[in-house]
């Protein structure tokens, strides 16, 4: 007798109550030990000397400069990587050309290489003893141990984030809507802003949020190319390390609380964007496509 005829579901792996609750318990223990506990310690240590000392630490000139440099880096690297991600996703999903598979693999390389290795590689390319170093130096351009090097290293480690979110979505959507709009006389820019962008906006924002969080928290690659100059080329993660090495643990935790807060904000943003994405996926595609096509031709 089949399960469908009896109206009973087939047994699933882990349906036994003992196994199920044991598995949930193990996951909760790991989350508490490796996620919640470190965040709780950061908050407790940051305010261990009171709110006035916390504010004094954040108001310190070197800390403020580190925060500003981190924000400037993100303000440059994130938009550039967003443009790159959109262009890469568009090229891979909307066009056929030789080397498409290779391009996809190359985009994923930063996920496979240690950030420290990436930083060292940039030294050998743009440093004084590097491939382009002498030419840059003679032209009066300083890349390494300055803001350009920090931006380049940050862009390298975060390059795949936007493209990785867009490529699967744009592949699933196909080319029909764009081709229909083009056949009706819409320009490439009109097609992109009227059809493609509305259909990918939640995935795009999702990738931007992840990219921004990684840029602000990047340590390995930036530590190599920045030179760790206090008050000049130290981003916030590097400044936290300096405070800790100066035996100013409370100050280090106070500065680290800013990054921890960023992590929590990123988490909330991810949840909200995922909900928006789910809402769009529930919308009938034929209706959405018809609406977008009419907007282009109107």
CA–CA dist 272, 277 (Å, integer): 9
pLDDT at 17 over 90: no
pLDDT at site 4: 52
- pLDDT category at 292 given cuts 50, 70, 90 is very low
CA–CA dist 255, 217 (Å, integer): 12
pLDDT at site 11: 63
Tens of pLDDT, residue by residue over 201-228, are: 888 999 999 999 999 999 999 999 998 8
Query: CA 169: distance to chain centroid?
Result: 17
CA–CA dist 80, 66 (Å, integer): 21
Q: What mean pLDDT comes out for the span 131-144? A: 91
DSSP designation for 192: I
pLDDT at 49 over 70: yes
Cα 142 to Cα 89, 130, 137, 139, 157, distances in angstroms: 32, 12, 7, 9, 21
pLDDT at site 188: 75
Q: What mean pLDDT comes out for the span 228-244? A: 92
Give the count of beta carbons closer than 10 Å to the beta carbon of residue 82: 20
Query: What does the radius of gyration of the chain's CA atoms come to, in whole angstroms?
Result: 24
What CATH number does domain 60-297 carry, 1.25.40.10, 1.10.3720.10, 2.40.30.10, 3.30.930.10? 1.10.3720.10
Q: What are φ and ψ of residue 283, in 5° steps?
A: -75, 135
Q: What mean pLDDT comes out for the span 84-94? A: 92
pLDDT at site 277: 63
pLDDT at 290 over 60: no
pLDDT at site 14: 63
More confident residue, 247 or 288: 247
- pLDDT category at 293 given cuts 50, 70, 90 is very low
Strands (DSSP E) along the chain, which ranges?
none
Contacts with 3 (C-beta within 8 Å, 6 or more apart), sequence order? 9, 10
71 closest CA partner among 269, 259, 267: 259
pLDDT at site 85: 95
CA–CA dist 153, 155 (Å, integer): 5
Domain ranges of the chain: 60-297
Q: Specify the pTM.
A: 0.82
């Amino acid at each position: 007798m089949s399960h469908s005829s009896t109206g009973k579901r087939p047994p699933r792996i882990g349906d036994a109550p003992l196994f199920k609750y044991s598995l949930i318990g193990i996951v909760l223990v790991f989350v508490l030990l490796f996620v919640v506990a470190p965040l709780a310690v950061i908050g407790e240590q940051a305010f261990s000397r009171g709110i006035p000392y916390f504010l004094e630490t954040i108001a310190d000139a070197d800390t403020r400069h580190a925060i500003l440099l981190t924000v400037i880096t993100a303000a440059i690297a994130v938009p550039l990587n967003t443009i790159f991600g959109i262009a890469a996703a568009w090229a891979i999903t909307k066009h056929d050309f030789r080397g498409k598979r290779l391009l996809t693999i190359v985009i994923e390389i930063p996920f496979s290489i240690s950030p420290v290795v990436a930083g060292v590689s940039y030294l050998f390319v743009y440093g004084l003893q590097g491939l382009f170093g002498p030419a840059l130096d003679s032209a009066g351009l300083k890349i390494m141990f300055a803001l350009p090097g920090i931006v380049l290293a940050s862009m390298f480690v975060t390059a795949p984030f936007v493209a990785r979110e867009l490529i699967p979505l744009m592949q699933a959507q196909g080319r029909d809507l764009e081709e229909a709009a083009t056949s009706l006389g819409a320009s490439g820019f009109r097609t992109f802003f009227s059809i493609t962008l509305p259909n990918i906006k939640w995935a795009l924002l999702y990738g931007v949020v992840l990219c921004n969080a990684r840029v602000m928290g990047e340590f390995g690659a930036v530590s190599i190319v920045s030179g760790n100059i206090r008050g000049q080329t130290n981003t916030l993660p590097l400044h936290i390390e300096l405070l800790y090495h100066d035996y100013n643990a409370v100050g280090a935790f106070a500065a680290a609380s800013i990054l921890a807060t960023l992590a929590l904000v990123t988490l909330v943003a991810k949840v909200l964007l995922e909900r928006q994405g789910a809402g769009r996926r529930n919308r009938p595609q034929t209706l959405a496509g018809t609406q977008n096509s009419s907007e282009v031709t109107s």
